[in-house]
Amino acid sequence: CISRQRVWGVPIPIFYCDDCGADIVTPETIAHVAALFREHGSNVWFDREAKDLLPQGFVCPKCGKAHFTKETDIMDVWFDSGSTWAAVAAERPYLKYPADLYLEGGDQYRGWFQSSMLTSIAVNGVAPYKQIATHGWTVDGEGKAMHKSLGNAVSPDEVIKEYGADMLRLWVASADYTQDMRISKDIMKQLSQAYLKIRNTARYMLGNLAGFDPDKDRVAYGELEELDRFALASFNDLVKAVREAYDRYEFHGVYRAVYNFCVVDLSNFYLDIIKDRLYCEGADSRLRRSAQTALYTILDGMTRLIAPILAFTSDEIWAAMPHTADVNGESVLLGDMPAWDSALALDPGTAERWEKLVSVREAVNKALENARSAGVFKKAQDTEITISVAEQKDADFLNSVDLAALCIVSKAAATTEAVEGERAEDCLIPCTIAVAFSQAPKCVRCWNHDAGVGADHDHPELCPRCAAVVKAL
């Protein structure tokens, strides 16, 4: 049954002849009623008499008389909503039919989803949608239904007023909407810290792109420092993960991937290591421009990735960052999403190499933290480390990279000789790490200890690298 006896709803456009009792529903009458609805709204059915709802001069096709009564029942709401594919999507050329997605609560499998499927298949033989997604209900922090009488209701307007619209959007994205979604002041407070981490990471990158013109200053990929290529490969992996999460409508996966990338890959690793290059190398030096090139590429892509969720924040970043001449700087939302780039992927050998280096750095950080707790030093740059390994090939491998820069210490070396220190058996290169306070003089500019401090008569307080940079100013 598609009708319901209600006083208001979507009318059923059927007329009845008062003289012969014929049911009247023809293409002509339907088109006329539709035109009236389009001009006056569906309430016109209730406001006018039957004769005023029919075409002028209309007579009963069966008996030729002109006395009519209109139907007073309304459409069943499920038949009504189940026909939206025809009334909304199919009627508008800028919309798709079948639709890409139908989104509703989990109770709609026997409701809107089913009624839409039945009507569309009955008329056209195809489903009205390509995919469906269902969501749970919004509940309080303890998982209870929200009611004003219980005082546990959270108003979206209050969230926006206190935190901004992007925070509300981030909450929606961070929650697994396939389950009931919890919200409370404590949850929003915790989430605000995650938002600030993402925002401050972008802010740090923006600050270090000051004076960088991507059209003029970008370093070719093949000339980038290996660490910068590793950072771009990590970002490339993020792009793949985020794009796949978006395609699956797993927005909480997008949030977690971006947040973890900002914390683990950037703040705790890459950004920490390149500070020395950004702050202390010459402004136009290849080493600094290499780092800026990676930062620019990462920030440009990450801003595009978060734009569907953090729409306002991403546009703020977009307005502040430099762009190439071919990029629309008006809004990030007018640009394209980044795609996974095979050119940025590391070959298996290089990937394995960096997996080992990251593991060694983690082991060194643990040894440094223990030494700091024991009072050996206050800042890691005050130390020298020696890494003892069992095989010469491992020592040669570690000595082939700038270990001191990687571990942010003043001096680092690997050896096969035994040392007293902290054992790191879980490291991909099992080793013993010895930490000692550096006895070399300290450079007042970069804060590294270097035996060359004092060698330059014009700048005796600087290390050779910093002295050369200062002289070139």
Per-position DSSP letters for 236-295, written without gaps between them? HHHHHHHHHHHHTT-HHHHHHHHHHIIIIIIIIIIHHHHHHHHHHS-TT-HHHHHHHHHH
What pLDDT score was predicted for residue 151? 80
- What tokens appear for 442 in the block? 């300290």
Q: State the DSSP code for 310.
A: S
Q: State the DSSP code for 340.
A: -
3-state percent breakdown (helix, strand, coil) of the chain, nearest 5: 50, 10, 35
| Cα separation, 297 vs 178, whole angstroms | 34
Stated pTM of the model: 0.87
Average pLDDT over residues 21-36: 94
What pLDDT score was predicted for residue 4? 78
> pLDDT, tens digit, for every residue of 111-130?
999 999 999 999 999 999 99
What pLDDT score was predicted for residue 142? 83
> pLDDT, tens digit, for every residue of 320-344?
999 999 998 899 999 999 999 999 9
> pLDDT, tens digit, for every residue of 203-213?
999 999 999 99
What pLDDT score was predicted for residue 244? 98
Whether the predicted pLDDT of 411 surpasses 90 = yes
| Cα separation, 14 vs 29, whole angstroms | 8
What pLDDT score was predicted for residue 259? 98
Average pLDDT over residues 241-255: 97
At 7, is the pLDDT very low, low, confident or very high (cuts 50, 70, 90)?
confident
Average pLDDT over residues 240-250: 97
At 140, is the pLDDT very low, low, confident or very high (cuts 50, 70, 90)?
confident
What pLDDT score was predicted for residue 147? 81
Domains and CATH numbers, the chain: 3-75 (1.10.10.830), 93-135 (no CATH), 185-344 (1.10.730.20), 348-437 (3.30.2320.20)
Could you identify the residue written with the tokens 């005082």?
Answer: 151
What pLDDT score was predicted for residue 94? 93
231 contacts 294 by C-beta, under 8 angstroms: yes
Give the rounded percent of residues in the chain with a pLDDT score beyond 90: 88
Average pLDDT over residues 431-446: 98
> pLDDT, tens digit, for every residue of 424-434?
999 999 999 99
What pLDDT score was predicted for residue 169? 97
Whether the predicted pLDDT of 3 surpasses 80 = no
Of residues 115 and 147, the one with the higher pLDDT is 115
Average pLDDT over residues 276-299: 98
| Cα separation, 32 vs 45, whole angstroms | 12
Average pLDDT over residues 21-28: 93
Whether the predicted pLDDT of 2 surpasses 80 = no
* Range name among 8-17, 310-319, 407-416 with the lowest pLDDT average: 8-17
